[in-house]
Structure 1
Amino acid sequence: MKPTAHPHPHPHVHASHPKVANRLKRAHGHLGNVIAMLQEQRPCLDIVQQLQAVESAIHAAKKTLIHDHLDHCMDDAMKTRGAGKQASLEEFKTITKYL
């Protein structure tokens, strides 16, 4: 997936970013376990359970990031006027596709 240019000129950091990074690190660890389990020819049920853990961790990270973005960035955007406000509304429409 090609990254899109971010319309904000300043670094985009929220209080939730460390929490999201930790969830993704957990998912990364689970995914490594899945690969090892496949190589070890472990039972499919065990592998699927581990894959579920990966999926759950990624889903939780995505949800946290989107909710934080909507809570903070969109609130700030509604206070702006003109083209900045229109760009923020377009970003809102785009990010909601990922919910």
Structure 2
Amino acid sequence: MELDLAGAELRSVLNRLRRAQGQISGVIRMIEEGRDCEEVVTQLAAASRALDRAGFAIIATGLQQCLTDIGDGPKADAERDEMRARLEKLFLSLA
């Protein structure tokens, strides 16, 4: 299953991932500096949410693209069911 993340969808996902990357770097720096545990956990939670949102955006885009690309035909229902199951499994891995 390949995703074609074009335009605004791709920029949105990449921005979320870059934000998470910066937050994780910040968490590492905070730990090295011996910062307060609550501050570290707050930043770690923010990074986790950014990663989750990027994953959900990828899954939502994949669901939309995959299900519309399947089209009609004798195998379409089976392909659609298989794709839905695969995307559901991915979705649940983030939940």
- Unpaired segments of 5 or more residues in structure 2? none
Offset at residue 85 of structure 1 (A): 5.9
Q: Find the counterpart in structure 2 of residue 14 from structure 1.
A: 5
Q: Which residue type is aligned with residue 27 of structure 2?
A: V
Cα distance per residue 1:16-36 (max 9 Å; x no partner): 122111101110110010111
Flag the structure with higher helix content. Answer: 2
Is 1:95 matched with 2:74? no
Mapping for residues 27-46 of structure 1, pairs under 5 Å:
27-46=20-39
Deviation sequence 1:38-68 (CA, Å, 0-9, x none): 1111000000000011011011111111111
Letter in 1 for 2:12: K
Structure 1, unmatched stretches of 5+, are 1-5
| Contact 2:66–2:83 (Cα < 8 Å) also in 1 | no
Q: TM-score, normalised to structure 2's length? A: 0.78
Farther off after superposition, 87-96 or 60-69: 87-96
Identity %: 29
RMSD of equivalent CA atoms:
2.0
List structure 1 segments (4+ residues) > 6 angstroms apart after TM superposition: none
Per the normalisation by structure 1, the TM-score is 0.76
Shift of 1:93: 0.6
Cα deviation for residue 83 of structure 1 reads 5.3
Report how many residues are paired. Answer: 89
The answer as to 2:48 corresponding to 1:55 is yes
